[in-house]
Amino acid sequence: MRQSKLFTKTSKTLPKDEVSVNSQLLLKSGFIDKEIAGVYSFLPMGYRVLDKIINIIREEMNAIDGQEIMLTALQSPQTWEPTDRWDDSKMDVWFKTELKNGSKLGLAPTHEEPLTKLMKKFITSYKDLPVYAYQFQTKFRNETRAKSGILRTREFIMKDLYSFCRNQQELDEYYEKAKAAYVRIFERLGLGDITYVTYASGGTFSKFSHEFQTLCEYGEDLIYINEEKKIAINREIFEDEILSEFGLTKADFVEKKAIEVGNIFKLGTKFSDGLGLQYVDENGERKNVIMGSYGIGPGRVMGTIVETHNDKNGIIWPKEVAPYQVHIVSLGKDEVVMQESEKLYNQLNQAGYEVLWDDRTNLGPGAKFADSDLIGCPIRITVSGKNIEKSQYEVKRRIGGDAEFIPQNDIEAFLDNELK
């Protein structure tokens, strides 16, 4: 991408009600745009980041036998009434509307019921199980107060996977596979070192569920960590009775703020009971299908990365999800500089790198470097007349270290080492 062709621009002004780090930096850098409170559009560079996050999650879901689908956002009351979740007093985040004929509809806040209903068409025998289906789909939640930029919104993409199993053992085994897949996801997203598998309430379904909590001083959750045993526990179940199961006391833990970036639940037969999802086993007996649920919000993850990877100058994207791997910055309007920059731009594109080229001629070096730091690509290559004379490029990593001077002929070897 040539930056002169990019329709978005960086900005120094922000909506007065945006106070979170992620919203400020993403709005200033032109990654997102605010429609209304809790509703954001993803612009070209922001969508590239979101898409990379989604693809990493997709790869790991496919690796544990997930089958990708896409369900509808518009929902009929009849799908939700059997589980009593159409009732606003039971689930208070519905957006509801009516068709012209007076029929009521809702915008799905989650998809346990519609997918369970769908599976009744395909699951009848033990031979049809297990099934693991997932989607990336827009959810709508009528939050009382949307806050923290893209961390808590009213419209968002959710990756929700649901497992359908014959028995508890089959569910337990898959649950552990999904947990391991989530650990790999957050490692690949550059959050592995600060994300903890956290014990949380299992509700009426099981003793525990698990949350994936990323440490952040601006997080809205409190977790308690024992580093020696690598155990993290959510505040809601941080009680002596629970701690005794781990042979620990409250004094063995440190309190930390965190952002919940994912969660996994054993659902049991709550939804198969309510919607009548059964199968016939090897002995001809009818049994309820046992379910699990596994969620990650890619946009929320993106916001979390920004909250935890930034400095006073802007965003510091991990290389796996950066909008572009390399940011070429051309200094001056000289034809020689522009020709050398274009040559490098074409060379790196052909070598398979994702390159953003600041080819704008109406800005000085200070403004260009400020934009580059704000956008946060891992590697910046500066092309100037002085360096061309010496057959070299000035190279700077977005995080840490001073600028280096790399011979022009060695630039691909340098990038291979840094990025691949």
Sorted by where each begins, the domain ranges of the chain are 12-311, 326-419
pLDDT in tens, the chain (420 residues): 999 999 999 998 877 788 899 999 999 999 999 999 999 999 999 999 999 999 999 999 999 999 999 999 999 999 999 999 999 999 999 999 999 999 999 999 999 999 999 999 999 999 999 999 999 999 999 998 888 999 999 999 999 999 999 999 999 999 999 999 999 999 999 999 999 999 999 987 788 999 999 999 999 999 999 999 989 999 999 999 999 999 999 999 999 999 999 999 999 999 999 999 999 999 999 999 999 999 999 999 999 999 999 999 999 999 999 999 999 999 988 999 999 999 999 999 999 999 999 999 999 999 999 999 999 999 999 999 999 999 999 999 999 878 999 999 999 999 999 998
Taking the CB of residue 410, how many other CB atoms lie within 10 A of it?
11
| β-strand partners of 158 | 137
326-330 vs 379-383, strand pairing mode: parallel
Distance CA 239, CA 52 (A): 39
Distance CA 233, CA 211 (A): 9
The CATH number of 326-419 is 3.40.50.800
Q: Helix, strand, or coil here: 72?
A: coil
| β-strand partners of 381 | 328, 395
Burial class (CB in 10 A: 0-12, 13-18, 19+), 370: middle
The pair of structure tokens assigned to 311 is 């400095």
Distance CA 93, CA 109 (A): 7
**12-311: CATH architecture:** 2-Layer Sandwich (3.30)
Residues 6+ apart with CB under 8 A from 222: 234, 235, 255, 256, 257, 258
- DSSP codes joined into one string, 86-126: SSTTT-TT-EEEE-TTS-EEEE-S--HHHHHHHHTTT--BG
Q: For Cα atoms 255, 260, 264, give the angle at the middle one, nearest 5 degrees.
A: 115
